[in-house]
Amino acid sequence: MTQSPAGTVVINQSVAILVDGNNIERSIHAETNKPNTMLNFDTLVPRLLDNRGLNRLVYFREGRQISSKLKERLHTHYHGSVRPCHKSADIPLSIKATQLASKVDTIIIMSGDSDYVELVRHLKSEGVRVEIAAIPSTTSKLLIDEADHFHEITKDDWFTLETKKPPRKKTAKSRKPAPEQSE
């Protein structure tokens, strides 16, 4: 930390953001009851960083169906990456977090899953500040209590894609007979 001449404190931290994509997506969908609701990284990431430096952003997601638009957007705007996981993101995210522990000051884990409690304890014992960002209603209280800080993800941090409804097919009942042609 350095102090500027005006007496304000400038926080100079390197931050890694690790996202458990499936957990966050399920939490948002449970909150909104809309499966086409997604995080708005353009507003959320700057808020989480709060003028600190982003070292890296990694989005872990189970399954092979990962949006190429999401991959491209995270890479373009945050030099981020998307990592597909065989099963859940817990193990790959935990491994990445322990690899980054000596390279960053703060790790923000985007998940409310209590499976990360032991990881949070371990990272803190290594001298890393650990913050959790998640939807309050689906976040483990134990995880919140273990973390150095909790960022609430709220409706201001997501958006819902409008889906185009396919054109209605005409059924036999809805079809009107063609008018008779006169000769």
124: CATH = 3.40.50.1010
**Positive or negative: CA dihedral 102, 108, 111, 112:** positive
Q: Is residue 181 part of a domain?
A: no
Chain segment 21-68, per-residue pLDDT in tens: 999 999 999 999 998 898 999 999 999 999 999 999 999 998 767 778
Q: Is residue 175 part of a domain?
A: no
Higher pLDDT, 165 or 119: 119
- pLDDT averaged over the chain? 87
Residues in the chain: 183
What range defines the domain where residue 70 resides? 9-160
**Confidence (pLDDT) at 6:** 67
How many domains does the chain fold into? Answer: 1
Residues 6+ apart with CB under 8 A from 92: 60, 83, 85
Q: Is residue 93 part of a domain?
A: yes
**Confidence (pLDDT) at 134:** 98
Chain segment 118-159, per-residue pLDDT in tens: 999 999 999 999 999 999 999 999 999 999 999 999 999 999
Q: Is residue 59 part of a domain?
A: yes
Q: Is residue 179 part of a domain?
A: no
Both tokens assigned to 168: 């209605």
Q: Is residue 68 part of a domain?
A: yes
**Confidence (pLDDT) at 69:** 83
Q: Is residue 171 part of a domain?
A: no
Chain-centroid distance of CA 54 in Å reads: 15
The closest alpha carbon to 133, from 149, 116, 118, 119, belongs to 149
Q: How confident is the model at residue 181 (pLDDT cuts 50, 70, 90)?
A: low
Q: Read off the pTM.
A: 0.82
Q: What is the largest CA-CA distance in the chain?
A: 95
